[in-house]
A and B are shown apart, each in its own frame.
Chain A
Amino acid sequence: MNSPLPQAHGLTVLIAEDGAADRLLLSSIVQRQGHKVLLACNGAEAVELFRQQRPQLVLMDGLMPVMDGFEATRQIKALAGEVLVPVIFLTSLNHADALTRTLEAGGDDVLIKPYNPLLLAAKITVMDRLRRLQETVLQQRDLIARHNEYLLNEQRVAKAVFDRVAHSGCLSAPNIRYRQSPYALFNGDLLLAAYTPSGDTHVLLADFTGHGLPAAIGAMPLSEVFYSMTTKGYGLGEMLREMNAKLKRILPVDMFCCATLVCVSAQRRSVEVWSGGMPDGYLQARAAGQRTPLISQHVPLGVLKAKAFDHSTQVLPMHPGDQLFLLTDGVTETIGPDDQLFGVERLQRVLDSNREPQQLIDEVEQALRDFQGRTRDDVSMVLITSQLPEHPGMPVMLYTDSGQCSPLDWSASFEFRASTLQQFNPLPYLLHLLMEVHGLRAQGAVIHSVLSELYSNALEHGVLGLDSRLKRDAEGFTRYYRLRNQRLAELQRGFVRVSMQVMPCPRGGRLTLDVEDSGQGFDVAKMMARPLELDRFSGRGLNLVRQLCPAARWSEEGRKSTVEFSWEALA
């Protein structure tokens, strides 16, 4: 008779049997089938042999002197631990209670006397297959455990790196409160904040598609663009174009990045917003008790080619004390019992009932906890309060050069004409050039603020002829920026000239900045006669310049402004 199974070979088989003839018979059969045999005359010997030599299979008599087969089996199974060592009981008769006892002791099969060699070979083969199966399962389990540990470790390392990247900005500033679930980044959420050179706050809340490490990969290039361009004084438009182009280039087709990017400027009493693919954020005016939703108007980052990408932003009035609340869809899409979404209405109810703005995030979180059956790990919220910096120039930029080569005697003049004004922001380049002069670096923030104001005054009031009085109320504010974009798009002629002159003095040096435009000019005497008021929309720019730079001068026609900065030699 041919066995239907490929026979097992080369196992070490322990035989525990007190009858000498049976032992001899069994060991002959087993050896003849190609296995190595260990012989024990009782249970105690069997356990000892197992301990020393770890056989792979055991043939065990039930009744034996010293220690019976049942106890020996229990001890061997305990020694074997997770490894399956099949025990086949040898028994004379088919007593049901004897069979039950063998199973209770951990026996895997039974061989009934008189022995049939073919049956024994088949049983050994089957048991060997079981044993191997168990071995494979254990190996795979250990492999999976190792892989899992490896993966978790990678995530821990990646999280530590990403946390350093994502939190190197000003998220800890007193006017920013935020909450992110611990592994939100690995669900694609990214929150960044940084000061501009003039002390405004840029905040980016982004949500990459997908989950896990792939969703976090895009965070690196995005953070780099955000921090480096914010520090250099770029505006939102340029940053958005750069971010979109970079993500479009590196992300696979099915991945993109929903994002809200804002610039909160307490000095200008405004907030500039771009939002693509994100749930509505909210601007809460403290004084008026009014809440304006910030609706996403764009396609997410990383989808459109540079030509089709729209970086146009919305500018809204935002006074010191006003608050901006941004969130990712993990909040509104938290799923509660019955598969219901938390949704926008529930969120708005929480916003309605909020009394103390500083508690808002806690209240939303509490509402999510009360509502949800399942915890999500992609919940990000941020609350930014518009707050005037204690003193302008708060962020002192760090430079890594040695300070040995500082240009101290030069002048330069630029004229930016219509088509350039439409699409190019020269401020980061001008600022960069000026910051090569080491003596000016300490005043970098003020210079940036003043130069920004003079440039945008020259462009908006001068070249575009916009009336700053439009900005007297919130509606006019919106109209003003709509008009600005419209006129800029249609601009045919006009210019803004910037000239800078750096001269050494006996104990330091002096920078003279002139900003001139091709516009109508204004009544300088009347403007200078007005008191310095800070809490008004209109005329903000000039007030700010006069405050930061008391020696600011305007030519009589109001087309040219001049400011000076001087410094003492560094010790």
Chain B
Amino acid sequence: MSEIHMDQQVISSLREVMEGGFAELLDTFLLDSEERIGQLHNAHEARDLTLVAHSFKGSSSNMGAIRLAQLCGQLEERAQKKQLAGIEELVIKIDDEYQMVRQLYRAERQRVAASSFASGG
């Protein structure tokens, strides 16, 4: 069930691609995402909302946060079509999903730190 929040296959291929930079990638993703969440709440115009949702969708998708990427995709589409009724609900859903994602990725980050410490790296 947690696969939909953090795709293990994507994570392992990212670990492979990034090698020593994997921890930094996780940090960057989490930091960037906090910023996106803030921007989502502060967005006043549909255009800004679209842009933020688009970027957030892109990075989540790359990082294997599949559900988060899907929700951002829905938000982007609705914002683009200016279907703003009930949009707050969707933003809250994204909030909730991100809380889940954050936990999982932080845990992943801890594991990386431990294993690199263990391997002396």
Residues from chain A with Cβ under 8 Å of B10 in the complex: 114
- Please tell me if A48 contacts chain B, counting CB pairs below 8 Å: no
Q: How far is the CB of B74 from chain A (nearest CB, A)?
A: 12
Tell yes or no: B17 within 8 A of A by CB. yes
Task: Give chain B interface residues in 32-75, CB to chain A under 8 Å.
Answer: 32-33, 50-51, 54-59, 61-64, 69, 73
Given A21-B29, A92-B54: A114 in contact with B73 (beta carbons within 8 A): no
Which residues of A are found within 8 Å of B63, using beta-carbon distances?
A: 21, 114
- If A24-B24, A92-B54 touch, whether A29 touches B62 (CB-CB below 8 Å) is no
Q: Which of B32, B51, B59 is most buried by chain A, counting CB atoms within 10 A of its CB?
A: B59
Shortest Cβ distance from B110 into chain A, in angstroms? 18
Q: For residue B29, which residue of chain A has the nearest CB?
A: A21
Q: Which residues of A contact B112 (CB under 8 A)?
A: none
CB distance from B15 to the nearest CB of A (A): 12
Q: Which of A21, A22, A92, A115 has the most CB of B within 10 A?
A: A21
The reply to whether the CB of A214 lies closer than 8 angstroms to some CB of chain B is no
Known A28-B21, A32-B19; further 7 A-B contacts with Cβ < 8 A: A21-B32, A21-B33, A28-B18, A29-B17, A32-B17, A63-B50, A113-B62
**A92 proximity list for chain B (CB < 8 A):** 54, 57-58, 61, 69, 73
What are 8 contact pairs spanning A and B, CB under 8 A? A20-B28, A21-B33, A24-B21, A25-B14, A25-B17, A29-B17, A63-B55, A114-B64
Contact with B along A63-80 (1 / 0, CB 8 A): 101000000000000000
CA distance A63 to B55 in the complex (A): 8
A18 touches B64 (CB 8 A): no
CB distance from B3 to the nearest CB of A (A): 14
What residue of chain A has the Cβ atom nearest to residue B53's Cβ?
A: A63
**With the chains together, A25 CA to B29 CA distance in Å?**
10
Q: Which residues of B lie under 8 Å from residue A117 when comparing CB positions?
A: 13, 17
Q: Does A83 contact B (CB under 8 A)?
A: no
B85 within 8 Å of A (CB atoms): no
The reply on A19 being an interface residue by CB < 8 A is yes
Contact B62 A25 (CB under 8 A): yes
A21's contact among B19, B54, B57, B62, by CB below 8 Å, is which?
B62
Q: Is A63 touching B21 in the complex (CB atoms < 8 A)?
A: no
B1 CB within 8 Å of chain A:
no
Residues of B within 8 A of A28 (CB): 17-18, 21, 25
Mask: chain A, 10-29; 1 = CB below 8 Å from B; 0 = not: 00000000111110110011
Q: Which of A18, A22, A32, A63 contacts B62 (CB 8 A)?
A: A22
Cα A18 to Cα B19 with chains together (Å): 23
B59 CB to closest chain A CB, in angstroms? 4
- Please name all residues of chain A whose beta carbon is closer than 8 Å to the beta carbon of B118 when the two chains form the complex: none
Across the interface, which residues of A come within 8 angstroms of B54, CB to CB? 63, 92
Most chain A CB atoms below 10 A, which of B14, B28, B62: B62
Q: Which residues of B are found within 8 Å of A113, using beta-carbon distances?
A: 58, 61-62
Q: Within 8 Å CB of B19, what residues of A?
A: 32
Q: Is the CB of A20 within 8 A of B62?
A: no
Q: Give the complex CA separation of A24 and B73 in angstroms.
A: 22
Best-buried of A19, A24, A61 by chain B (most CB within 10 Å)? A19
Q: Is A119 part of the contact surface with B, judged by Cβ < 8 Å?
A: no
Mask, B85-115, CB within 8 Å of A = 1, is 0000000000000000000000000000000
Contact B32 A65 (CB under 8 A): no
Instruction: State the Cβ distance, B77 to closest chain A Cβ, in Å.
Output: 9
Most chain A CB within 10 A, of B13, B33, B55, B58, is at: B58
Known: A25-B14, A93-B73, A113-B62. A19 touches B55 (CB 8 A): yes
> Which B residue's beta carbon lies closest to that of A115?
B62
Most buried by A among B14, B19, B29, B55: B55
Q: Which of A25-43 contact B (CB under 8 A)?
A: 25, 28-29, 32
Distance of A93 Cα from B69 Cα, bound (Å): 11
The smallest C-beta distance from B17 to any residue of chain A, in angstroms, reads 5
Q: A28-B25, A92-B54 are in contact. Are A22 and B18 (CB under 8 A)?
A: no
Q: With CB as the reference atom, state the residue of chain B lying closest to A26.
A: B62
CA distance A69 to B6 in the complex (A): 29
Contact indicator B51/A22 (Cβ below 8 Å): no
